[in-house]
Amino acid sequence: MSILVNKNSRIIVQGITGNEGSFHTAQMIEYGTPVVGGVTPGKGGQIHLDKPVFNTVSDAVDKEGADTSIIFVPPRFAPDAIMEAAEAGIQVIVCITEGIAVQDMVKVKAYLKNFDCRLVGPNCPGIITPGEAKLGIMPGFIHRQGTIGIVSRSGTLTYEAVDQVTKAGLGQSTCIGIGGDPIVGTTTKEAVELLMNDPETEGIIMIGEIGGGMEAEAAHYVQEFGTKPVVGFIAGKTAPAGRTMGHAGAIIGGKADTAAAKMEILEAHGVHVVQSPAHIGRTMAEVLRQ
């Protein structure tokens, strides 16, 4: 089983004719992802990468039964693209776009409460259910079908965890890159909860960063409702206070925002914390054998 995306998803690409959209759509199609079309205003009726292009998301929903969208549009237009997808009835929206203004995302997140949909991102690598659907920019070849769910704020650390889990022979059920911005559509806790409720996921890897309280929120959930082992890592142990590190959301605003403080919180709530990302895969394997 999988969460959010699978071989039965009907996926469209908003911004399919742009450089980034074209490149990554081609990669997704090559992986076997069920892409049914794309959206670029003013280019409706064209064929791009052997897929129909529509002027609006609503047209793609009507003509192709689209239920999932991935967004590759510039920051200025991305908020409208997200809201358009929600209005059209898209159930899963993945926004890859980096650099969306915080105030714009505040409005978008409030707006999405009116619709039955889930946003992943922005500023994220996407979602992959290995062997079924790659909805994002991650390298598909390192993933293998398996039973470990991965939730991460960091794209590159997601890939490191995936590689280790694959080499450990465990594979992945679904990997979710939630994004590194201050405001994201799906939080760490929400992603962990989805994986916790997936009967085919046996263990969960949770990768966090300095800044914000999402990891603590997830840890509280794990302690109260967790039924599967969770391995956790927090990046940014050497980050200085008050300075953004890599992601817009990775900034220490108080003592509880530091990597050390977050690791303590995770450990206190039953998460198996590793001090180095190099230990993620082997720790997951050891925990499952216990």
pLDDT, position 218: 97
pLDDT at position 250 is: 47
Write down the pLDDT at residue 240.
54
Cβ neighbourhood burial of 148 (10 Å; 0-12, 13-18, 19+): buried
Interval 214-226: pLDDT, tens: 999 999 999 999 9
Q: Who wins on pLDDT, 99 or 250?
A: 99
The whole-number pLDDT of residue 166 equals: 93
- Predicted confidence at residue 258, as pLDDT, reads 79
Whole-angstrom Cα distance, residue 145 to residue 47? 32
Contact 134, 28 (CB under 8 A): yes
C-beta of residue 206 within 8 angstroms of C-beta of residue 151: yes
The whole-number pLDDT of residue 156 equals 87
For position 212, what pLDDT does the model report?
A: 84
Distance CA 202, CA 120 (A): 22
Q: Does residue 248 register a pLDDT over 70?
A: no
- The 10 Å Cβ neighbour count of residue 202 is 17
Residue whose tokens read 């999988």: 2
Mean pLDDT, the chain, integer: 93
pLDDT of residue 251: 47
pLDDT at 2: 76
- Which pLDDT value is given to residue 249? 47
| Cα 288 to Cα 78: distance, rounded to the nearest angstrom | 41
Look at residue 1 and tell me whether its pLDDT is greater than 70.
Answer: no
Q: Which is higher by pLDDT, 224 or 248? A: 224
Q: What is the pLDDT of residues 48-86, one digit of tens each?
A: 999 999 999 999 999 999 999 999 999 999 999 999 999
- How much is the pLDDT for 237? 64
Over the stretch 162-216, which tens digit does the pLDDT of each residue have?
Answer: 999 999 999 999 999 999 899 999 999 999 999 999 999 999 999 998 888 999 9
DSSP the chain: --SS--TT--EEEETTTSHHHHHHHHHHHHHT--EEEEE-TT-TT-EETTEEEESSHHHHHHHH---EEEE---TTTHHHHHHHHHHTT-SEEEE------HHHHHHHHHHHTTSS-EEE-SS--EEEETTTEEEESS-GGG--EEEEEEEES-HHHHHHHHHHHHHTT--EEEEEE--SSSS-SS-HHHHHHHHHT-TT--EEEEEEESSSSHHHHHHHHHHHH--S-EEEEEE-TTPPTT---SSTT----SGGGSHHHHHHHHHHTT-EE-SSGGGHHHHHHHHHH-
For 99-124, write each residue's pLDDT tens digit: 999 999 999 999 999 999 999 999 99
Domains of the chain (ranges, CATH numbers)? 11-120 (3.40.50.720), 138-289 (3.40.50.261)
Residues acting as catalytic residues? 247
- The tens digit of pLDDT for each residue in 5-34 reads 999 999 999 999 999 999 999 999 999 999
Report which of residues 145 and 243 the model is more confident about.
Answer: 145
pLDDT of 210 reads 84
Are 137 and 152 in contact by the 8 Å Cβ rule? The answer is: no
What would the two tokens of residue 203 be?
Answer: 């263990």
259 versus 19: which is more confidently predicted?
A: 19
> Which is nearest to 67 in space by CA: 9, 17, 125, 25?
9
Q: Write the pLDDT tens digit of every residue in 229-247.
A: 999 999 866 455 555 555 5
Q: Which 3-state string (H, E, C) describes 157-174?
A: HHHHHHHHHHHCCCCEEE
From 233, 257, 227, select the one nearest 245 (Cα to Cα): 257
* Higher-pLDDT residue of 155, 91: 91
